[in-house]
């Protein structure tokens, strides 16, 4: 996995989006959050699936993986804006509206969002595959996924919602883009529908686990350790706020165990790759 991650980082740096204009700072801003680092978890999910199922397609999958990272990065930039979380730190780096200004941050987010689909459309894959990938990413990264989740999160701030509603919120806001990453890897690999759907369902569980973990880490970690603004969910609908820290940790443990068991249901190469990628993430809430 480390070799693939290194290859992806190199691909990202060679293919950073550019503005090609006389604007004095926009290109720097466009690349700022991408160069700040990050776990690269979503593109690595896609690449780990391709590496297991059809490794000859790894090179062709790189622009799609980069597209996912661009779309995820745009969502973080917008999530940190004063109108949303008003955060100061992301990826161990000042948030974009702090480094530049709010207008620039909004426009960079817009640019990364649209450029993600440019990358998918121009990837070295057959047209039918590209159409399927665009359909998945536009749905799970859009109004049927991340956007409606974010809208619910913002609208119901300072209002208590039920556990079922909280899970709906975070399955859409966080889970669906993670699930889409796995699904898109399977599509690139020309996998059967049964496996495509199985990976997607697995990704939804991983995404929900990630959100519960983030809610826990927001309480127990400081800004420097987390690499982002923490203790910022006081008025939000989080699993810790709804269930309490102890019960939230129990729920994360249960879901991590379920995900661990489900990995063993996949074929051997997929098991190996998913285990290698997820081993440091499944129980990261146990700090």
Mean pLDDT of 54-74: 98
What pLDDT, on a 0 to 100 scale, did the predictor assign at position 222? 75
Domain 2-278, CATH number (from 3.30.70.260, 3.30.465.10, 3.30.56.10, 1.10.600.10): 1.10.600.10
Tens digits of residue pLDDT in 112-169: 999 999 999 999 999 999 999 999 999 999 999 999 999 999 999 989 999 999 999 9
**231 pLDDT exceeds 70?**
no
What pLDDT, on a 0 to 100 scale, did the predictor assign at position 286? 86
The lowest-confidence range among 134-148, 163-177, 184-198, 221-235 is: 221-235
pTM of the predicted model over 0.85:
yes
Tens digits of residue pLDDT in 12-34: 999 999 988 999 999 999 999 99
What pLDDT, on a 0 to 100 scale, did the predictor assign at position 232? 63
Tokens in use for 37? 């680092």
- DSSP-derived secondary structure for 259-270: HHHHHTTS-HHH
Tokens in use for 251? 């729920």
Q: Could you give the residue ranges of the DSSP H alpha helices within the chain?
A: 2-14, 26-35, 41-53, 58-79, 96-99, 102-121, 127-140, 146-155, 163-170, 176-188, 193-220, 223-226, 239-243, 245-263, 268-278
CA distance linking residue 195 with residue 190, whole number of Å: 10
Percentage, residues of the chain above pLDDT 70: 96
- Cα 92–Cα 248–Cα 177 angle in degrees, nearest 5: 55
CA distance linking residue 114 with residue 128, whole number of Å: 20
- Cα 174–Cα 178–Cα 182 angle in degrees, nearest 5: 165
- Decide: helix, strand or coil at residue 89: strand
């Amino acid at each position: 996995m480390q070799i693939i991650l290194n290859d992806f980082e190199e691909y990202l740096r060679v293919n950073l989006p550019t503005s090609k204009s006389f604007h004095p700072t926009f290109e720097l801003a466009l690349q700022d959050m991408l160069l700040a680092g990050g776990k690269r978890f979503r593109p690595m999910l896609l690449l780990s699936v391709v590496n297991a199922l059809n490794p000859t397609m790894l090179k062709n999958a790189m622009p799609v993986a980069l597209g996912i990272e661009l779309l995820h990065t745009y969502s973080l930039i917008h999530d940190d804006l004063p109108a949303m979380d008003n955060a100061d730190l992301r990826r161990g780096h000042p948030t974009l509206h702090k480094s530049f200004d709010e207008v620039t941050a909004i426009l960079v987010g817009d640019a990364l969002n649209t450029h993600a689909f440019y990358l998918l459309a121009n990837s070295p894959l057959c047209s039918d595959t590209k159409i399927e990938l665009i359909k998945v990413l536009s749905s799970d990264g859009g109004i049927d996924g991340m956007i409606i989740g974010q809208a619910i999160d913002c609208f119901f701030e300072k209002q208590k919602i039920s556990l079922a509603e909280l899970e709906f919120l975070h399955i859409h806001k966080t889970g669906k883009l993670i699930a889409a990453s796995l699904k898109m890897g399977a599509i690139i690999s020309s996998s059967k529908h049964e496996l495509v759907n199985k990976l997607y369902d697995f990704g939804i569980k991983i995404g929900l686990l990630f959100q519960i973990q983030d809610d826990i880490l927001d309480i127990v970690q400081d800004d420097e350790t987390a690499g982002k603004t923490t203790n910022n969910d006081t008025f939000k609908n989080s699993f810790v706020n709804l269930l309490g820290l102890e019960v939230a940790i129990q729920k994360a443990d249960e879901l991590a165990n379920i995900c661990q068991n489900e990995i063993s249901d996949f074929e051997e190469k997929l098991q190996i790759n998913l285990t290698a990628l997820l081993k440091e993430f499944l129980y990261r809430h146990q700090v």
